[in-house]
Structure 1
């Protein structure tokens, strides 16, 4: 999922450099949403791992 966020970030940067405002804004928004979802899932996985008795990474 982090790979998708980085892909949309690159698309947003290229679109912004070429002057496509709508595409850049949409891609940046998608990248931000995917990044937040990735961080939330990461934190949930670390909490679940700690609850099961294994120390976090």
Structure 2
């Protein structure tokens, strides 16, 4: 999931450099959502691993 987030942020940066503001904004929004989903899942994973041990 983190890989997808990085991919979308790279797409956003390239689109912004080339002047495609709408595509850059959409890709940055998707990257932000994916990053926060990854972060939540990572924290849940850490908590469940700590409870099991």
TM-score past 0.5 threshold: yes
Q: TM-score, normalised by structure 2?
A: 0.98
Where has structure 1 moved over 3 Å in runs of 4 or more?
none
Cα RMSD of the aligned pairs, angstroms, is: 0.3
Higher relative contact order (CA 8 A, sep 6+): 2
Q: List alignment gaps of at least 5 residues for structure 2.
A: none
Number of matched pairs: 53
* Larger relative helix fraction: 2
Structure index of larger Rg? 1
Q: List alignment gaps of at least 5 residues for structure 1.
A: none
Q: TM-score, normalised by structure 1?
A: 0.91
